[in-house]
Amino acid sequence: MEIFNNFDPKKLVEPAYLFEKTPPADSDYRYLVFIFGFLVIIAIANWFWYRRKFIKIPVYREIRNKLFNIFFYPSIVGLFLIFCRWQAIPYLGSRFFLGLLLIVFVIWLIYLLYFRLIIFPKEIKEFLKQENFNKYLPKNNQKNRKVKSK
């Protein structure tokens, strides 16, 4: 592929390359549009999948929201940055903001993995324990009570 032949990792540490005010828009950034668009589609599909399957359990709603946020919002920001690059808007189209977006995404992904692997199982255990406890509590059923009227 031509995209990998043009890639030079030495440029990524050069400040002049990263902070270029208006970098050229004729490079291979159109592939990023497809990647960001695919992430938006994944976010929406994930939202509906979790909505259909696990909406009754609050912990799953929380992870659904986290997954939607990690895929949707960076993708929208990435599409905006690619649009700024295409329109040659100074500073917003620079490579620095795309790199910053990548760093934020990776940190966010690490937090999400921590949540999914460490916190999520604990919350599921706590939820199941609470459900089991609530199962044996008396139910407040108004239909079965006879109300005396005056």
CB-count exposure of residue 120 (10 Å: 0-12, 13-18, 19+): middle
Q: Where are the beta strands (DSSP E) in 98-146?
A: none
pLDDT for 19? 62
Crossing angle (nearest 10°) for helices 30-54 and 58-86: 160
Question: Does the predicted model carry a pTM greater than 0.85?
Answer: no
Q: Which two tokens stand for residue 38?
A: 């695919």
- How far, rounded to the nearest angstrom, does the alpha carbon of residue 20 sit from its chain's CA centroid? 28
**Which pLDDT score is estimated for 15?**
66
Which residues of the chain are under the pLDDT cut of 50? none
Mean pLDDT (the chain) is 80
**pLDDT per position as a tens digit, 66-109:** 889 999 999 999 999 888 888 888 888 778 888 899 999 999 99
